[in-house]
Amino acid sequence: MAIVKMGERVWDAARAHLGAHPERFGFFLADTALASDGPIFIAQDFVPIADTDVHHGAGGYEIDLDVLLRVVNRGVREGRGLVEAHSHGGALPRFSRTVDRPGLAEFVPYVLDSLPRQPYAATVWGADAVYGEWFLAGGDTGVLRSILITGPQLLQVVSRDDDHEPIPTRFDRQLPWFSDDGQRALGRLRVGVVGNGGTGSHAITQCTYLGMRDFVTVEFDPADDTNLNRLVTAAAADEGTPKGVLARRTIKAIAPDARVELIARPLQSGEALDALKSVDLIIGCVDNDGARLILNELALAYGIPYFDVASGIEPAGGGRLESIGGRVAVVLPDGPCLHCMGEIDTAEARFYNATPDQQAVARARGYAPVKAPAVVSLNGLISSALVNELAIWVSGLRPLSVFTELELIDPVRKPGQWLTPRSGVVAVPDCIECTYRGLRDGASLERYVGVRS
């Protein structure tokens, strides 16, 4: 299984050329990476093939050889892989047996040879959906699981055999918000939920009710007695059971057909980092900035949209409280990162991403990480705000708000609960974390593996 993704500019260019025109051709130039379940293609540019460079030959349509060479050479020069695209129009686009399959059998080995170490993918475009397959030099091949556009609306355009199945009636009451297309997209997004505790248990439950059906969950800790005041996936008898198991049980109870890949390992493990590389989006429900730092770098490196939630209660001294609130922050492939937003405490991140020995040294020097107080209603509200923002993005109702603050007791403003978008959140020039953008495996996230046992 594999993913092809792109931003709005590349999507618009491809759409303009291929959209309403059957039998047109083009190529994406893509940054690529390999996850254990298949390649990742992050399209950076679209090269349309002019109609005058395509001829109808004996075996169907053929592209001029010198035009093909030019595209392949650009891939070599830029160190990028190729994703071919041609359009059939209509519904349920698939490769034709008589023309496309023989064409692929000839062309795929040629490209894999010409662009060594690069995976290749081929796509066929219908009126509203795109089907594709990927190929590796060793002979591995498969169907593209996801074709994702991270523009003003999150579009999942992958075509599957059930494209035209009716939406189950259980979603009737939410279709006025999502429409059939949005509902179908929700069901096809693979979402990585990191942290299945106080906020994650809410987010997972709501995402499942909304219709999401493909989860990668990362959670290492068992539910202990002090979690049972807020873990909505747990009952009293569940003390000691891993939170990830409780999350999977909840998902399966609501939606037995859902796919759940439970990674019962720390985020700082090869298994977790590999499984998250190829998800469509990440929901971060973690309780420390060490995990946030890693998710921020992962999201930037592999161009993964990342929704992060935080809640907290700030004491003001003397038994008084200064703030009860939280925030939802969204890191998009071309937007500000969590560090740009001032949402990563570097000292805390360093502590949580240190080895036990290093942590002992930090403690001896007086560094004391505090466990933030946590309340179910606060977690529920801020997690709901995250899921709402995600649902708004999928349904395209309005532009995404990349930062939303929640405050329950702010004494400066009028008494009341405030859920407020923050404006003017932009990428900070020279942000050290933003240098991970687009690096893919060059981000070397494996340096975090094993730091937390």
- The HSE-up count of residue 140 (CA atoms within 13 Å, CB side) is 13
State the minimum distance, in angstroms, from the CB of residue 305 to Zn ion.
Answer: 15
Least distance (Å) from Zn ion to the CB of residue 434? 4
CA dihedral 86→88→89→93, nearest 10 degrees, is -100
Q: Which of 421, 380, 409 is nearest to 315 (CA)?
A: 409
Report in angstroms how near the CB of residue 147 gets to Zn ion at its nearest. Answer: 17
Q: Which is nearer to Zn ion, 407 or 433 (CB)?
A: 433
> How far is it, in rounded angstroms, from Cα 47 to Cα 127?
20
C-alpha–C-alpha distance, residues 72 and 81, integer Å = 9
CB of 384 to Zn ion, least distance (A): 27
The interaxial angle of helices 270-277 and 289-302, nearest 10 deg, is: 40
Q: Which of 345, 295, 324 is nearest to 406 (CA)?
A: 324
Element (H, E) at 308: strand 306-317
In the complex, residue closest to Zn ion by CB: 431
Cβ of residue 347: shortest distance to Zn ion, in angstroms? 18
Nearest distance in Å: CB 132, Zn ion: 12
Q: Which of 73, 435 has the CB closer to Zn ion?
A: 435
In whole angstroms, the minimum distance from the beta carbon of 428 to Zn ion comes to 6
Positions in the binding site for Zn ion (CB under 5 A): 96, 100, 337, 339-340, 431, 433-434
What helix, strand, coil percent values describe the chain, rounded to 5? 35, 25, 35
d(CA 125, CA 107): 18
Q: Which of 298, 265, 290 is nearest to 196 (CA)?
A: 265
Q: Are 286 and 299 in contact (CB under 8 A)?
A: no
Q: Which CB sits closer to Zn ion, 163 or 410? A: 163
